[in-house]
Structures are given as C-alpha cells and as structure tokens.
A and B are shown apart, each in its own frame.
Chain A
Amino acid sequence: MSVAPVLEATGLTVRYPGQLALDGVDLRLFPGEVHSLIGENGAGKSTLIKALTGAVIPDAGTLRLDGAEVSFGSPGAAAAAGIAVVYQELDLLPNLSVAENIMLGREPHRFGSIDWRRTREEAVAALAALDIFIDPASPLQQHPAAVQQLVAIARAVRTQPRVLILDEPTSSLDQSEVTELFRVIRTLKEAGVAIVFITHFLEQVYEVSDRLTVLRGGRLVGEYLTREILQAELVGKMLGRHVESLDEFELRQSEPDDRQPVFLEARGLGRDGVVAPFDLRVREGEVLGLAGLLGSGRTELARLISGVDRHGSGRLTVEGAELRPGAMRAAIARGVVYSAEDRRYGGIIEDLSIEDNILLALQAQRGWMRRASAARRRELAQSWIEALGIVPADPQLRAGALSGGNQQKVLLARWLAVAPRLLILDEPTRGIDIGAKVELQRLMLSLAQEGMAVVFISGELEELLRVSDRIGVMRERRLVGVLENDALSYEDVLALIARSSRGDDDE
C-alpha cells in the first residue's frame, strides 16, 4: 500500500492517576483497510480508542488526519471530523424503532413535524447500503443483538465517516451473524472507509483484517500485516514474556500427586452457549492453573464449578456429594469459594471498612443473627491484615481507599476467613504491582502445601507455569486439555492456546 494513512497517531500517551495507561503508542489507519487492534485486558486498546475519539485527551503524542495535525477536545469534535465509533455496549435505544435509532437527532422535518415517511425511507436507504432489509418501524429491542449491532453501524455510516471503529462487535454474535457482519465490513472497506476492528477472537482477525497492531501493558508491541504473522507468533506477542525479578522465588516442585484425594469433580459439566461440557478433577493440595485468551471461557468455567452460575448439563460433585446447579451458598458451605474477576463490580464493597469486607463471607455464612463478636472480628481482621500484609493496616479504613493489590488481599482474606477447601481465584494478579503479585503467588503455594486446592486463572502464562501443578487450557469456550506441569514449556501451552480451531479439537 503506497497510500497515505487517513489517521495517524504517533507517541500517544495517556496517564491516569498513578498509572500510565498508554505509553507512546503509534497507530496508522489506511483507507479501505481493516485494521485489528489486539491485546489482552489492560493492554490499552480501550484507552487508545478514547484518545482517538476525543473521549480522553492524550498527555502526549500527535494525531494527524490526512497529514494535518488535529486534536479532538470532545467526542463530538472527533465525530465531526469523520471518526465514528460503535461501542460493544451499544449506544442505542432499545425502546425506539430501528429507523429512529439510525436517524435520531437528524430526522427530516416537514411543517415543523418530523416527517416519518422520509425518516423511514432514509433509514431504509442507510440499511440497504449495507444490504440489510429489516422493518424500519419495528422496535429495536425486538431484534437480536446482531441486528442491533448492524443498526448501530448503519447509524455510524450515515455520517459517512472516514474512520469507523468497531469495538468488539462480535462478542455476542453467533457464527452466521459474524459472517453477516463481516460482509458489511467488507462492503464498507470497498467504499474506502478505514476500519478499526477490535476482537478477542483471533480467527476473526485472520478472517477479516488486513493489518494489525498489538498492544501490551499500554505499550506498542508492533504493527504487522495479518498475512505475514502466524497465529502462534501473534499469541506470543499478546501474552509476552514478563521479565520479573523472582530469583529468590522457589519454583513449584511439581510432584504429580495422584494419591491426593479428589476434592471436586465435574463430569460433562456445561452450559449452552457458555462453556462446552467438560470433565475436570481438582485434587486436594494442588494448584490448577487455567490458561486461555480472554473470552475463551476461563471465567465461565470457574463460575460453573463454584455454583455461581447454574450449569445446564452434567454433574458437579464435591467429595462425592452432588451440588445442585447454581447452589452457590451450598458450595461455599462445602468449602468451594470463587473470588471474582472484577474486583470492583463483584468483589470489594468500597464503602465498607476493611474489617467488614474481610468478615463479609464468614458473616453471610453464619447468617445475620449470629454475628461474630467485636473482639473476634477485630482479631480476625487484624490477623489477616498481618498475615497478608495489607497496607495500611487499619481495619476501620474504607476498603475503596486501598490500592488494587491490597484490595485483592482483602478479598483473599474474606475467602480464607471461611476456611475454604477449594479456592478459585479469577485473575487475582491483574492490575496489581509486581511485589504484590509475587506475594500472592507465594501465598497460593503455601496454601496448597497445607492441603487446600487452588484454581488459579491468569492471563499470564509464565505465572501459571511457575505456580501450577497442572494447567487447564481453554479455547473458544472449551476446555481443550489439562497438562501436567512437569517440564512443561511456555511454548507447549502457547501452542495449545493458539491452535487454530480449524484443526481437530480432540486432545
């Protein structure tokens, strides 16, 4: 391509309080080209998009539109310059008609009234340009997510943007719907629009995009032509090798320990459209790592085996006794606890004190009438604060005031306080600093040494390799294999994660 880029970003840097969200990232978007933006959670994709669309003003770096330097002070300014975004969380109005969702704010008027006939006609035309034929007067909420997605694109395209950013448009679509979306993307591409396509599904990246940019930890890893990079290579670039100074950290002495009794067993456990049926055994005293890309079904699997979500098929047993689907509280009573992925939404109760947060699960278990005595509460909170090194060590401090790592420790303390037999940790090390990370890893090992079973989900392969006895690998909502971690290499696991689904799935 000898064409000049429509939009070119160089050295974009965005600082959030205490964090460098984007660190000198470059991006080039060419007309008539689909450009995939790739990276794991926290890689900076979202921030990059915000910086491109004026939702965040970069602290450094330049934006050039057709070679001329620009800066967008607001989303409106970016939209006016021809940069349109369709977000994953659709910014649409389900209670209004399809036509209105496309035309709202730009409806043709006649004698002071909205001209509904022309509004519908223009909406039909906008949809037809994408080869979509649906009733413009039907309420949007009647349509499946895929159609809503297309309606959002139709709305964006009506402004004839130069750049169209599609933020995870396929996350809730099935295969035929994805095919339809891709057809629309190609139509737009032929019309010369520069398209940014964000997805977690690498298959789709290869299917539709021409060029890709990989981000990791807020930094640019590189820009590649899609046809020139192999999938395994790409996954390696996404996950990266984290150089951590862990010299004093003793590696897990993996002793495949089949003599340990099985604590939890899943047989054919699954749920339609969420996780394909799988078999899994977790033994006492082992650390079972769960690897896979984002969206591969790691969290969903964890939520099934902990009873947080109802399973649709199969059997879940704890020490031989069956757990009913969705019997989360029963699971907790049996010692199976799940520490959620999203600390803020599903974990920390920010307005409550550290002490309350630590005691929450224990208290929920005891029931509201049997409150732990004040002395016992203080003692428990204090001992966990000390044991896990929570800073500041003030049990009455608001938990929301803590750093991410310390919040994670509070969450861990909450669950350890109920003396669990199986601790399921969903990305406990995400977004916390390296020191806290190492402490958590060490803690998991010592817990396992004491006989607790640990299921550990992480996006960082090396971390999993260091801590786990076995590693379960998830791909496309399927548990594709469980590997013994003896002499297992980074590349072995990577190969399994990245293997194309076009190959056979049987392990």
Chain B
Amino acid sequence: MNASRIVHHRLFWPVVALVALILINTISRPTFLSITVKEGGLYGSLIDILRNSSQLMLVALGMTLVIATRGIDLSVGAVLAVAGAVSLTFIGGSSHPGDLGTVTIAVLLGLAVTLVLGAWNGFLVSVIKIQPIIATLLLMFAGRGIAMLITKGQITTINSPPYAQFASGHLLGLPVAFLVALAVTVLVAVVVRRSALGMLMEAVGVNPEASRLAGVQARGIIWIVYALSGLLAGMSGILYSSNIMAADANNAGLNIELDAILAVVIGGTSLAGGRFSIAGTVVGVLIIQTLTTSITFLGIPPAITPVFKAIVVIAICLTQSQRVRAAIGSRHRRTRQTPTAGGLGTESPIEAEKAATA
C-alpha cells in the first residue's frame, strides 16, 4: 500500500530519472560523487551542479507560479539580461566599483528594474487581457534591446570583488549562488504556501470563472505572479553577470525561458495551469542541470545537449498525452466518445456534469 503510494506520487518518476542520471555518471566515473575541500569551499561535480543550477532555478521558480495561473512568461531571458546590464553599468560607472555600498545599490537597482518589467507583463495580461504568450513575447523582443541600450552594445566588464562573490564565492563551504537560489526558493515556497497566494493562484489557474464567483481577485494575483517572475529573472541575471563579470546583453539568459518551462513541466506542473509543485520544479531543474553536466562529464560534446533535451521533452509529452494514456489505460469504456458529444449539445454541461458526478 505504502509502496504504491510512493510510486503514484507525482514526483516519483522525475526523482527516479534524477537518481538514474547520477548513477550513470557514478558508474562511468566514480569521481563524480567525490567532494573535495579547497580554500574553505567545497568542490566537485555535485557542487558544480548545485551552483550551475541556481540561475535556472530562480527563473524556473517564477515560471512555475506563472504557469500555475495558466500563463507563460517568455520574457525571462531578456529580463535577466536587463538586470545584469543595469547592475553592471551602474557599478562600471561608479567611482568605487569594489565598494559594498555600490554593489548593494547596483543589485537593488537591477532588481527594481526587473520588477517593473515583470509588472508590465502582468499589466498586459491582467488588465489589457492580452494572451500571456503574446504579452511576454513583446518584452522578449524589446528586453534585449533595452539591455543593449543600457550597455550601449558593449559587453561591459567590471572588476568588483564583492559582486563576483555572488557567483564564485563560498559561504559555509557552499557556493553563494546556490545559497541564494536555495534561500529564495525556500522563501518563495514558504510565502506562497504559508500565505493564501498559492491556493488562490491554483484556483484561478484551474477555474477562472468559479474563482471570480467566489470573490477571488484574479487581476491582483496575476499581476503579483508576473512581477515576481520578473524579479526572480532579475536575481538570476545578477548571478549570471557575476559569473562572467560582464553584462552580455546578447547572450545572457538566451533560451533560459525554454529550459525553465521544461523544468516546470518535468516537475509535474501542467502547462494548462492549476496545481503546481515547487519541489517538482527543483527536481526538474536538477535533472536538466545534471543532464548538462553529465554530458560534459561523460565526454560528449556539450553542444549536443539539445538532442537529449528534445528526447526528454518528447518522452514527457508522450506520457502526458491523453491519447497515449488512453491507449495504455482502459480501452473498453465506450463512454469515452462523449467528450466530442459533450462539446456539442445545448444541455450538455448539465448532462455531462450529471454523468461525471452521479
């Protein structure tokens, strides 16, 4: 009974996939699991995975919330680039780039701008009522232009030790980037689940009309979610720019929106909105990052990674496809044809309802 419960948990297969990936790596090169201590910091493949996954984690976290409300945010990559551009341009322009105060202001400035960009997306979706995919497509385009406008098209490089700490520093032996991602993830998870935001988001995502009738203010909820997605992409941008110590408006966060969506879907959150799982997204991010790391680790050219991602996407989609499920599952239920019929009729909502509930 208990075993079947575990198997049916929606994170069962993703976790199995993650463990399998780690096993494959360990078998092929046992050093995969080894962790060494150098200059007060931990090093090793697993630590690399944790550090490298932090950028995607932050973006995927925001994406999870957006998708839960039946939305999508394509602009995160561009927003990420803007954050780096703003922060680094500020630091580059200041007289004390190594000053902690300068760095603090730079980070806050970067995050403030991305919060505004996220709120803009939220405005288009919740007030103007433009389809999320189109609304965020606009910023996906213009965002990179804005980032380049800020950096004047240069790849601004800076020298600011405190800023570099985000990506390369260690705290308590762990990479700072990982700790940032961990802290933010826990914070968001706690806020979303301890407040009623998570429940209301799900309600809006599953059934917008019923939520409205129950008095839920979907507009505010959706607005918050997109603003948060922008802010999280901004944090990711700070980590990215800290990693290379340069604001690269062209390549920062390129295609990260796709990886983030992928991570969310792997984690079991449906693109159709509704129930979401932050833990699932964490697993999804780790799978993608482990996959990427393994490929390098196993000596496959990293550029080929997309092929494996494609296989993962197709496999997941097929397991979620109704058609495949129907083929595997019960084939005998003649009433399966009522979906078509249910869509037609006049009284069908009622009769279908009866059929489903009685």
Which residues of A does B touch, CB under 8 Å? 16-19, 21, 41-42, 44-47, 49-50, 55-57, 87-89, 91, 167-168, 198, 308, 328-329, 332, 338, 340, 342-352, 356, 359-361, 363-372, 402-404, 407, 414, 430-431, 433
Contacts and interface: CB of A to CB of B under 8 A. Distances in A.
A351 B202 contact: yes
Contact of B346 (A45, A57, A403, A407): A45
Contact of A346 (B213, B354, B357): B213
Contact of A364 (B216, B341, B347): B216
Contact of A42 (B216, B338, B351): B351
Nearest to B344: A87
Interface stretch (B191-199, B228-236, B242-250, B298-306): B191-199
A351 B357 contact: no
Contacts of A359: 199
B353 A19 contact: no
B263 to A, nearest CB: 21
Interface string B142-184: 0000000000000000000000000000000000000000000
B209 A350 contact: no
Contacts of A338: 213
A16 to B, nearest CB: 3
Contact of A50 (B199, B210, B344, B349): B344
Nearest to A353: B199
Nearest to B270: A351
10 contacts: A17-B335, A46-B348, A55-B345, A87-B344, A351-B206, A368-B200, A371-B196, A407-B357, A414-B214, A430-B350
Interface size class of B (residues with CB under 8 A): 35 or more
A88 to B, nearest CB: 5
Contact of A57 (B334, B345, B350): B334
Given A88-B346, A363-B199, A363-B200, A47 B210 contact: no
A350 B356 CA distance: 12
A340 B355 contact: no
Given A349-B210, A371-B196, A328 B215 contact: yes
B351 A21 contact: yes
B351 A87 contact: no
Looking at A45, A46, A87, A361, the one whose CB has the most chain B CB atoms below 10 A away is A46
B354 A360 contact: no
A431 B357 contact: yes
B70 to A, nearest CB: 12
Contact of A16 (B199, B200, B345, B354): B354
Q: Return the 8 tightest CB-CB contacts between A and B, nearest first.
A: A16-B355, A404-B357, A46-B347, A46-B345, A371-B196, A19-B358, A364-B215, A55-B341
A344 B356 CA distance: 10
A496 to B, nearest CB: 25
